[in-house]
Amino acid sequence: MVQVHKLAGFFVVAVFAVGWIWGLAAWVTKRGPGERFWTWVTVVQVLSGLQAIVGIVVFVSGYRALTLLHYAYGLFPIVALVGAHLVARRPDFRERPWVPFAWVAFICFGLTLRAVMTGLSG
């Protein structure tokens, strides 16, 4: 299960990278990201949740990260995605509800990359 968590961690980082690059491209071209962006949002939410569940199983099995930051970096994306949903519903994002998700993808890319680094250090 530890190996699954480790491999899935790399995949989560890659999926968040796709989201922020997609959002950046949409912003640079001054066009929306398209309907498939919302499929990406669904995938990243499910993947983040599954990664957290696998992480909890690994933790309950007795494995521990060397630093508590690993857990914060790993769980923050779930909180951030909930926040993106709340912000995207605000009237000032009515025209571009994808923007909060692109920002969250950028932030979570860095945090999940850091989670992988702290997890591999032990």
Q: Is the distance from CB of 14 to CB of 112 less than 8 angstroms?
A: no
What pLDDT was estimated at residue 70? 81
Contact of 51 with 12, CB cutoff 8 Å: yes
Number of domains in the chain: 1
Q: Could you tell me if 1 and 61 are in contact, meaning their C-beta atoms sit under 8 angstroms apart?
A: yes
User: Which of 64, 108, 61 has its CA nearest to residue 84?
Assistant: 108
Domain range for 13: 2-120
Residue-by-residue DSSP string for 63-79: ---SSTHHHHHHHHHHH
Kindly give the confidence (pLDDT) of every residue in the chain, 122 residues in length, as a single tens digit, with 9 standing for 90 and above.
878 888 888 899 999 999 999 999 999 999 999 999 999 999 999 999 998 899 999 999 998 887 788 888 878 999 999 999 999 999 999 999 999 999 999 999 998 888 888 777 65
Which tokens hold the place of 90? 């605000």
Confidence (pLDDT) at 72: 86
What integer pLDDT is reported at residue 67 of this predicted model? 79
